[in-house]
A = this chain, B = another copy of it.
Amino acid sequence: MYEYLISQVKFNEQGLVPAVAQCCESQEILMMAWMNEESLRQTLLNGEVCYWSRSRQSLWRKGETSGHTQSLKELRLDCDGDTILLRVSQKGSACHTGARTCFFRLYDEGGDIFVSES
């Protein structure tokens, strides 16, 4: 039953597609990571987000060790099918640093970057 969706996704030459995770409650952008076809299938099957780790070259079941899982609430595809939007319910922090979102580094017009929870 995922075949139609999968047929609409344009995986790149490495078989990957970028996936942006957004908190469905706060609307914060939590992180961006990559999916291959298998991780997309796993996500749809289990309702918990699974990415593809490019560094480890393996499936990355988000929160498997930390417990900071992402429950999938909604999945959207962009107009040309080359980016996925995951609307999720995030348990704990999305970022490995312990921050709620990975985008905690805010660029300041003065030229600095400072740490700021959004």
Contacts and interface: CB of A to CB of B under 8 A. Distances in A.
A70 interface: no
Interface string A98-118: 010011111100111100001
Contacts of A22: 29
A58 interface: no
Interface string A55-88: 0000000000000000000111111100101000
Contacts of A2: 111
B118 A103 contact: no
A106 B103 CA distance: 25
Nearest to A31: B78
Interface residues of A, number: 38
A111 B1 contact: yes
Task: Give the top 7 A-B pairs by smallest Cβ distance, nearest first.
Answer: A27-B27, A78-B102, A1-B111, A76-B103, A32-B83, A75-B107, A77-B105
A15 B75 CA distance: 29
Interface in A1-36: 1-5, 8, 18, 20, 22, 27-29, 31-32
A46 interface: no
